[in-house]
Structures are given as C-alpha cells and as structure tokens.
Structure 1
Amino acid sequence: MELLLSNYQPAKFSNRTTQKVWLENLSKAEQVRIATGFISSASLIELKKMVEVNEKPNIEMLIGMHYFDGFTKQQYDCALALNETLQAQNRGAVYLSNAMRFHGKLYSFNDAKQCFGAVVGSSNLNSLFSAYKIYEADCFFDGDNAKTIDKSIQNIFGKLGKIITDLQIDNFIQNNDLLENHYGVNKVSPEELTRIWTTKTDTSFEIPMKTEAKSNLNCFFGKGRVNQRGFEMPRPWYEVEIIVPVSITRLPNYPANRTFDVVTNDGWRFSCETNGQNSKNLRSQKDLTILGKWIKGKLEQSGALTMATPVTENVLSQYGKNTMKLSATADPNLWLIEF
C-alpha cells in the first residue's frame, strides 16, 4: 500500500501523487473500473475524448450521487454522450446508482489477465483530470488487495447501478457556477464590484476572440499530452489561452509580460498573465482553465455553445459578442474584463 497526497505547497512530501499514479496506470490498463460520487461535465467530456483517441482501455463507471442530488442538463448530456461512445465501441458503459447514494471513490486497473492496481481515497474524477487545488489523500494498492478492491467495485455495480439509459431523468439543477469555490478565484461583493468599476480609466483594449480550430478558445481539440507508451491524455475542455494580435500588444499601456489581477463584469476576481513573444499570450495564471471557465461558461450558459463542440464564428455571433474588453483601473495591478 502506498499513500498518495496531492503534494501542493506548503504540504509537499513526496513525488508520487494520485493524479500521476492514476494516469500512469490508466495508460497501461486494458480495463478500468470507476466508482465515484460526483462528476463534472468537463471530466466526462475529457474522458470521452480519451476513449476516442486511444484504442484502450475499456471503461466502466458508476456515478454515485447525482441520481439523488441532481444533474445539471449539461452534466447529464455529457454522461449520456460518454455512455454512447463506450457502448458504440463495445468498450464499457456508464452506470448510475439509483438504489442509494454512493459517495466512495474507487478506481481499479486491469490488464488482460488480472487487476494490477487500485486507488481508494478522497479524489473524485474531477481532481484526476484537472489541476484543482484541493488537497486530496488516497491509497494505491497492488497484488491481492487490488484484486479485492476490483471485485468490490464489480459487486457495487451489480447491487447499486443501472445503465444510465435505463433510468428516466427529467428534472435538472439550473445553477451551475463553474468558478464557485474554485482555487485562485474570489467572488467580489456587489458593493466592492461597484467601487472597483468606478476606478476604471480611459485605457482599454478590445481583444478579438479568435476561433482557430485547435488553439485559443479551442485548445481542447489540439493534440493532447502523449506519454512514453503513446497514450494520449486530452487537454482540458476549459483550457484557454487568448492570442492577442501584435497590433494590440504594441499599443501604449498594454500590460506586457506581467502578472495582474482581473475583475470580471459579473464579479469574479483572479490572476492573469501576459507572456510569450510580443506578450501575445493572455491567460489565467497557473491554471489555464480559470479564464476558460469564465469565457466558455458564458457561451454555454447563453446556449450558444454545446460542450465538446468548437467555438466558431457562428457561436460568437449567437452569443452577440466576438471581443473581450480589457480595461485599466487606477490600480496598475488591477484590470477589468468584459465579455
């Protein structure tokens, strides 16, 4: 048994993390079984793409809490899409626990002969695919212990689960704020938001939202990270990096090659940075999905964008805006963004 920790500062103790061990075993498995309480739309879409770009593994997954606690429409559609892909390729299925709430987090990895590894602990699927800065603790097992866990997961599927298409779900959660309680993001009070926006200066830049097929807002469709085994992990659905034209980055007072805080017009505060040649890259600092969740989340909530589909000119047209406005405030380290 090996204890796995998230290993974030200041509690950094070891080199092996759950995410690293999970991905390492995933890439060499023929069959993966997952029993987890909660999921996110993004983790399901990323898992679906992983299935599409790799010949293995087969995947069986039980979603343990959402039948009782509710799905958003987006989460449910993503779960159906993953199940459809798995079943169409004869590579597994998505199950829901409809007998009772299941809040465990169990993962097993099998080769052609037997289970060779399993993870048990606090990590939901969300934290395994993306850089969520929540400190998790898990245990990795091999040998007979791993086989026992794998057998238990199969028993849980049999006792608690039904294939998602065998269950009728018609009521959905309406509110799904992607940045709520997100590491590195703060919600600004209405009073503070009003005060900050009164400090806005005349310096501003209208940054075009580009719709290249595999970059900018569509990084998800670019090449994923490929390990030494040739196994490809897709890029996160919400990964975004805005490429700003040189005609803008060379303008006076553009925040070139620096880090600064931004406050959005709907009241979120987080850090961004500009870097690269001519400061052409504009992105959220440390976690590229923060800015992506804000931009793509707005597109999704408006109905203009469907998950796992590209941001196109038509999507931006439906949304009604194809630029993001970046404005300076009286504080040189604080900028405002509107989209």
Structure 2
Amino acid sequence: MHLLYSNILPLRVKPGEQSFLDALAKSLGEADRLDVATGYASKGALLELDKNLQETSLNQVRVNLGMYFIEGMPEGMYRTAMELADKWQADGQGEIHLVRPFKYHGKVYVFYKDGQPFSAFIGSHNLGAIKLEATNRRQYELSAMTDNPEEVAALAQFVDELWQPKCSQPIQQVQGMTLIAEKNMALNGVQEVSQLPPNSVELYDKHKTQVSFELPLKVPAAAERFMDDGKHYTKSNINVAYAAPRSARKPRDWYEIQLTVSKSITTMEGYPEKNKPFFVVTDDGYWFKAHTTSDGNKQFSAVGNELLIGRWLKGRLAAAGLVKPVNNTQEDEDRSGMITQEMLAAYGRNTLILSKTDQKAVDVCENDEGEVIRTELDVWLLSFEQSNNDEA
C-alpha cells in the first residue's frame, strides 16, 4: 500500500511520489469496471465518469453516494445523477445508488479487469476530486492505493455489501430525500440588482395584498422546439434568444427573454400601470426596479437592463440542472438551451406570480440637470418558487 497525494502548493508531489489523479488515470487505463463508494460527488465528477465510459476501455461504473439521503442533495447534482443513472442503466454501463440508513463518509475505489478486482484506493478523496473545479482546487486530500490481493478483495467485498438493498437503493427508487436549491449565479455582478438581507422576503410576504396575477410562461414541448410556425416559440417570450439575430455578427444573448403578458391579464384591475416603475422583491431575495411597457402594456421587464429578468428566470432553471446556458444560440443546432414544457414540469412551475404589497420604497435618481429626485414606488413580490423542490 502506498500513498496518493494531492498536488497543491506548498505541498507539491515530490519525486518518487504519486498524485491521486495520476494514479486514477493509470488505473482507469487498465480497468474495464470501476466501483466507487464515496460520501460526496459533484456534477463535474459524474460527467467525467461518463466521459471515461465513452472514451476509454472502462465499460461499467457503479457509484454509491453516502451522505446525501440524510443531508439532502443539491438540486442540480440530483438531476445530473438521475440523468446519468438512467443513461447508464439503459446502456448496461452502470448504476448510481444512495446509502439510506446512515451517513456513509468513506471513500473507496475498486478497479476491475475481466470480472476480478486488481487495485483499490481508500482515503479522503471524495469522487469530486476526479474533476478539478474552483470549489476543490485548493482542497488537500490524502489516500492510499493497494494491489495486495487480500486487501483489494476485502475492499471489494465491503463495497459490494454497501451496494446491497439493506444499505442502499438505486437513485431512481429513492423517495423522501430533501433537494437543496442551488444559488443562481447568473445575477452575480449585475449592477441593477441587489441581494436582500435574510428574512426580508418573509417580511414583505406578510404585507401582501389581495392584488395578485399569475403570468404564464409560454414555451414549446420538447418535440415542438424546432417549429417556427404561428406559435412563434423562437420569436417572442422565453425563447426569443433563438429568433434571428439583430446583427449578423452578434447573436442574441441566451438570457434575453420577452415576458409578454396577455391582454386578459393586463386589463385586470390593479395590474401595474404602463411606464410607471415599481420595485420587485423576488422569492429568492433579489431586489430590482421593473415596469410594464409596449402596446397594450404587454411587456414586463426590468428597468435599465433587458437581460435581468432572463438572468433571474433562466438562471434558476440552470441552477436546478435543467438546462445549460448557451454561448451562441445560432450554433445550438439541437436547441438544447431552449426552455421547454418538460423543463418547467420538472422544475415544478410554469408561471410567475406577481403580487402587490402595501409597502413603498424610495427610489433615488438624478434628472438631466443633475438634481437628485426621490420618488416613492410600490413594492411587488415576484415568485418563481418551485412547487416540488422539497423532496425527490
């Protein structure tokens, strides 16, 4: 048995030592099956395993995740794990299990060739260590590798026992696990939006009035996302980024949306007046200024930033692991970045809820002459809260 090191300054791997990643690459190059029993993983690590299944001699992977059933699993991680579990199972390439009766925090990797285990790792490297990312690049771990037949057999037997129904279940069969909402990173650094202190949303929620509107999100079914007919799925609303670009040199930003509200809603009593700004408090704690514009008062948008609401809405779906932002929508030939009815169904909501409060807040700005103008604006709540994000 010998040690496997992280390669992080100031403890760089020395001559004669072996890093965990180098040992892993060498063992995967010799193996046709990998069994992993780990406390934690990451989306990137699971996708890296899938990449190995497609590109190397590895043809079977079994992953057992030990901490999530009791602690809860990040939502994006859960959806990635579910997608890969279904894919691997359908292709006969593997499964993903969750340990249920207790927290399992061990980290064991067992490598097989022709049905026989030949090498194993044990130590502190969670599965996330196989894919270096910002969150783990400076996290030092230490493990050990053995090719001693008795030690390898003992670790393989342990992983097999942990795989049994008394200890774990396929992730597709697990019920009652808490899903943890992940932070929407798409609003980071956006000047026109600010993050409210904790509990502020609850305080404003207590001041809601009876004036409330449900705004449908118009998107195609997955099978309809290539249809550019009278439904105009690529010409307006949530997927306007897939419409023809305004300039041949510059495609539309993926976060661009047109939140178009029907006349049956805009003419209801209490709906915000056209071109009269108001403050918005979102259910996840963001604050920005919005208004309604255009013919018939049909456009709902943020003031001063046409991408802001798209970053908030689409960023929520991306954080949930349901879609990946697209750099160039004109090159997204399979339209994988288009929001569909299936995505919203998986998220648990296909409408926004806009509710007026009895509160006002002061807006401070300068006019063209440089004078400071203070105006009291209404405060509204905007919710895209999931209806099924508490449990898997």
TM range (shorter): 0.5 to 0.7
Does structure 1 residue 172 correspond to structure 2 residue 186?
Answer: no
What is the aligned partner in structure 2 of residue 20 from structure 1? 22
Task: Give the Cα–Cα distance (whole angstroms) in 1 for the partners of residues 43 and 338 of structure 2.
Answer: 24
Residue 45 (structure 1) shift = 2.4
Deviations 1:170-207 (A, max 9, x none): 642124488xxxxxxxxxxx9xxxxxxxxxxxxxxxxx
* Structure 1 residue 89 displacement after superposition: 1.2
Match of 2:152 in 1: 146
For 1:59-86, what per-residue CA distance to the aligned partner results, in whole angstroms no more than 9, with x for missing partners? 1110101111111221111111111121
Whole-Å separation in 2 of the counterparts to 1:139 and 1:173? 32
* Whole-angstrom CA distance in 1 between matches of 2:324 and 2:167: 29
Q: Is the 8 A contact 1:58 1:91 kept in 2?
A: yes
What are the superposed Cα offsets for residues 233-291 of structure 1, whole Å, 9 maximum, x if unpaired?
Answer: xxxxxxxxxxxxxx9xxxxxxxxxxxxxxxxxx9xxxxxxxxxxxxxxxxxxxxxxxxx
Q: Tell me the distance in 2 between the aligned counterparts of 1:309 and 1:88.
A: 27
- State the AA in 1 paired with 2:40: F
Query: Map of 1:238-257 to 2, 5 A cutoff?
Result: none
- Paired position in structure 2 for 1:182: none
Report if the CA contact (8 A) 1:300-1:306 is conserved. Answer: no
* Contact persistence 2:79–2:322 (CA under 8 A): no
Would the aligned equivalents of 1:45 and 1:308 in 2 still touch at CA under 8 Å? no
Residue equivalent to 1:156: 162
Map 1:26-105 → 2, pairs under 5 A: 26-54=28-56, 56-105=58-107
Q: Which runs of no fewer than 5 residues in structure 2 stay unpaired?
A: 186-193, 195-248, 250-285, 287-310, 330-334, 340-392
Give the % identical residues.
Answer: 23
Instruction: Answer yes or no: is 1:134 the counterpart of 2:148.
Output: no
Aligned partner of residue 21 in structure 1, secondary structure: helix
Distance change in 2, residues 1:113/1:175 (3 Å): closer
2:7 is matched with which residue? 7
**What is the distance in 1 between the residues matched to 2:94 and 2:338?**
38
Q: Which residue of 2 aligns with 1:334?
A: none
Which residue number in structure 1 is paired with residue 316 of structure 2? Answer: 302
Q: TM-score normalized by structure 1?
A: 0.53
Pair 1:176–1:45, CA change in 2 (3 A)? farther
Q: Give the Cα separation in 2 of the matches to 1:28 and 1:307.
A: 34
Name the SS of the counterpart of 2:96 in structure 1.
Answer: strand
* Unmatched tracts of structure 1, length 5 or more: 179-189, 191-246, 248-265, 267-296, 319-339
Q: 2: CA distance between counterparts of 1:300 and 1:7? A: 37
Change beyond 3 A, Cα 1:28–1:77: same
Corresponding residue of 1:274: none
Could you list the structure 1 runs, at least 4 aligned residues long, displaced by more than 6 angstroms after superposition: 297-300, 314-318
CA deviations 1:89-134 (Å, max 9, x no partner) are: 1122110001111011110001004211100011111112215221
Determine helix, strand or coil for the equivalent of 2:25.
helix
Distance 1:66 1:177, change over 3 A: farther
Report the Cα offset of residue 163 of structure 1.
0.9
* Secondary structure, counterpart of 2:161 in structure 1: helix
Q: In structure 2, how many angstroms separate the alpha carbons of the residues matched to 1:128 and 1:11?
A: 19
Shift in alpha-carbon separation, 1:70–1:143, aligned structure 2, 3 A = same
Change over 3 Å in CA distance of 1:143–1:66 after alignment to 2:
same
Whether the 8 Å contact between 2:36 and 2:64 is mirrored in structure 1 is: yes
> What corresponds to 1:203 in structure 2?
none
Quote the offset at 1:302 in angstroms: 3.5
In structure 1, what is the Cα distance between the partners aligned to 2:4 and 2:184?
29
Distance 1:47 1:307, change over 3 A: farther
For residue 140 of structure 2, give the secondary structure of its aligned residue in structure 1.
coil
Q: Residue 180 of structure 2: SS of its match in structure 1? A: coil
Partners of 1:34 and 1:61 within 8 A in 2: yes
Amino acid at match of 1:143: N
Once residues 16 and 72 of structure 1 are traced to their aligned partners in structure 2, the CA distance between those partners, rounded to angstroms, is 32
Provide closer, same or farther for how the CA distance between residues 133 and 299 of structure 1 changes in structure 2, counting only shifts above 3 A.
Answer: farther
Cα gap change, 1:8 to 1:299, in 2 (>3 Å): farther
Q: Distance in 1 between matches of 2:182 and 2:325?
A: 22
Note the C-alpha offset of 1:317.
9.3
Query: In 2 relative to 1, CA 170–11 (structure 1 residues): closer, same or farther, beyond 3 Å?
Result: closer
Query: Shift of residue 161 of structure 1?
Result: 1.0
Query: Quick one: which amino acid aligns to residue 303 of structure 1?
Result: L
SS for the counterpart of 1:303 is helix
The amino acid across from 1:140 in the alignment is M
Number of aligned residues: 205
SS at match of 1:62: strand
1:109 to 1:68, Cα distance in 2 relative to 1, 3 A: same
